Amino acid sequence: MLHSLRVLFLINPAAGNGQAERTWKKVQICLPHTGWDWSVHHSLRAGDLIRRAEAAATEQWDRIVVLGGDGTVHEVVNGLLNRNLPASSLPGLALIPCGSGNDWARTWRYPRNVDHWFREIDAWTLHDHSAGTISFIREGQATKSFFINVAGLAYDAWLVKQIEEDPASKGHALIYILSILRNLLTYRPQQAEVKTSDRSWSGRFYTINAGICPYSGGGMRVVPHADPASQQLALTIAGALPLSRILLNIWRFYSGSIGKVKDVETISGPHLEVHSIDKLPLYVEADGEWKGECPCQIGIKPAAFRVWAPKRLT
């Protein structure tokens, strides 16, 4: 029964320029009516929620509810999966969206309005959710991570790095679009070797993406064929597209028809491997967080955890 749930709230105070803390005040008004046995943890610094979620994986919580955005969920999932436990033994994960992009929330149709969120939860169920696995080089060391939305290389990761170095360009979707357009003028497709289980490419690439869920970048659908219940990665490989073709087709990034653009392939597979043959570092990002550099290997862990959410629209 929902009234007997043990629920841990994990909050990123920085999410959405303070929106998470403002949302938490509204959540506290609703909690007395739930009958839940609950506790709350506020993140103190980057990486703090990874450690707290890792501990929570073995603390017998029924649910973990995150207040934050995609980066916050990214940390929490990495903490949960670090324990390498079966999904059935992990708390069900839910989100009250408070970030700037909220792309993962789009996939699962989480309401942003707190009152709506609490009115709907009686009808929610647990869903299996796959996770992406990704390895890369950071500060000279081989490093591994999980992701639950989209991982990107070449322009996507280069743009994330630019935005992290210029916080003024990080905000809502319109600011992100303006950052995309501004940085397109200076980026040049990079040389790489790309391999899947049965295909290989070599040349210059505008972007390379692997997706678990379809949305990224504030509503773009670069991997529109992604499905979080799948055992396959959704892969989008874009060659050295000229700037004019990108600008003419930028609407396709949002419509889910990016695969119709010349020199763009949308395929599926369990594995992706990328090696840079460029003079400049080929960057890697996952769930909108800059990770490091190639060489990079991306895989999938089917049914890695469970999501407590509304039934998704297909």
Rounded average pLDDT per 10-residue block, the chain, 314 residues: 85 86 95 95 91 96 96 96 95 93 93 95 95 97 97 94 71 63 82 95 96 93 96 97 91 94 96 96 95 97 96 60
94, 123, 152 - which closes a domain:
123
Q: Is residue 13 part of a domain?
A: yes
Q: Do 157 and 262 fall within a single domain? A: yes
pTM greater than 0.85 (yes/no): yes
Both 86 and 176 in a single domain? no
Q: Are residues 153 and 281 in the same domain?
A: yes
| CA separation for the pair 309, 124 (Å, rounded) | 5
Classify strands 63-68 and 125-138 as parallel, antiparallel or unpaired: unpaired
The whole-number pLDDT of residue 1 equals 47
pLDDT of residue 218: 85
Q: Show which of 92, 123, 154 is a domain's final residue.
A: 123
Residue 166 shares a structural domain with residue 276: yes
Q: Which CATH number characterizes residue 71's domain?
A: 3.40.50.10330
Look up the CATH number of the domain holding residue 292: 2.60.200.40
pLDDT tens track for 204-253: 999 999 999 999 988 899 999 999 999 999 999 999 999 899 989 989 99
pLDDT for position 168: 58
Q: Give one word for 296, left, alpha or beta, with left for phi > 0 and alpha for psi -120 to 50.
A: beta
Is 309 inside a domain boundary? no
In a domain, 22, yes or no: yes
The pLDDT of residue 274 is 98
Q: Which of 123, 156, 176 is the last residue of a domain?
A: 123
The pair of structure tokens assigned to 22 is 């403002």
Is there a single domain that holds both residue 113 and residue 149?
A: no
Are 154 and 293 in a shared domain?
A: yes
Does the residue 116 lie in any domain?
yes
Query: Residues 6 or more apart from 192 whose CB is under 8 A from it?
Result: 153, 154, 202, 203, 204, 205, 208, 274, 275, 276, 277, 278, 282, 294
At position 23, the amino acid (one-letter code) is: T
Whether 313 is covered by a domain: the verdict is no
What is 13-71 written as a DSSP string? TTGGGGHHHHHHHHHHHHGGGT--EEEEEE--STTHHHHHHHHHTTTT-SEEEEEE-HH
Q: Which domain holds residue 201?
A: 132-301
Q: How many domains are contained in the chain?
A: 2
